[in-house]
Amino acid sequence: MFANDDEGSSGEENVCAEDYRGPEPFSEPETRALSDFVSNWTNIKVVINLHAFGNLMIVPFNYDNNVNGHLKEDFPLANQFYKHIHENGKLPKGNRMGNGRTTINYTANGEASDYFLAEKGVYSMSPELGLNDKKSQKFFVDSKSELKHIVSKNYYWLHYTMKQLHPSLHFELGHLEKDGETSRTIVLNA
C-alpha cells in the first residue's frame, strides 16, 4: 500500500472488494506493468488515469483531507499545472477539481496518481470522464452516440493538456470501433 494509513482501501479482510489494495504495493499485474512502464520510460511527464463515470478532475493526494496541504505545500508547481488545466482546458461544464475527499467525499489510499507524483515526480491525475447529464453517469455507457459525445466533450482538455507538454502535437477524434460486447476502442488521429 502507498499512503499514510489503512483508510480508503480494503485489506486482506475483504479481498473481493472493489477497493482491495492487494497484499503489497504493485502486487497486481496491472499495477506492476504500469509502474514498470513509467520506471522504464524516464521521459514521461504526465500520466492520466481515465476513469468512468463522473465529471471530475481528481488530482493527488487522495489520502489527504479537504485542504490537500501535501499537494499545495510540497508540490506547488504540480498544483499550478492542475489549476491551469482546469481553468484553461475547456473541461465539460460543471467539472469539479480536487482530491478524493473534495470530489467524491472519501479518501483513497494507494491511488496511482499519488504514487506517480510523490515517488516519480510525474504529474498525474485520475479524471472521471462524464458530463453534467444523467446519460453519461454510468460505468458502462452502452450508447455509441453518448460515448462519442462524452469523448468529444472531454477531448478539448485532454488535447490542451498534451499541448502544454509539446506544442506541436496535433490529435483529432477519429472514430469508435466495437471490440466486443462491452468494450470499444477510441481512435485518435495524430
CA geometry: angle at 178 spanning 175 and 184, to 5°?
Answer: 80
The correct CATH number of 45-100+111-189 out of 3.40.630.10, 3.40.630.30, 3.40.50.300, 3.40.50.11780 is 3.40.630.10
**Threshold 0.85, pTM exceeds:** no
Per-residue pLDDT of the chain (190 residues; tens, 9 = 90+): 456 677 777 777 788 887 777 788 888 888 889 889 989 988 888 999 988 888 999 999 998 888 899 999 999 999 999 999 999 999 999 999 999 989 988 888 778 899 999 999 999 999 999 898 888 778 788 888 888 899 999 999 998 998 887 765 566 666 667 776 666 666 665 5
Note whether 113 and 38 are within 8 A (CB).
no
Pairing outcome for strands 56-58 and 172-178: unpaired
- Could you tell me where the beta strands, DSSP code E, fall in the chain? 46-48, 56-58, 96-98, 123-125, 172-178, 184-189
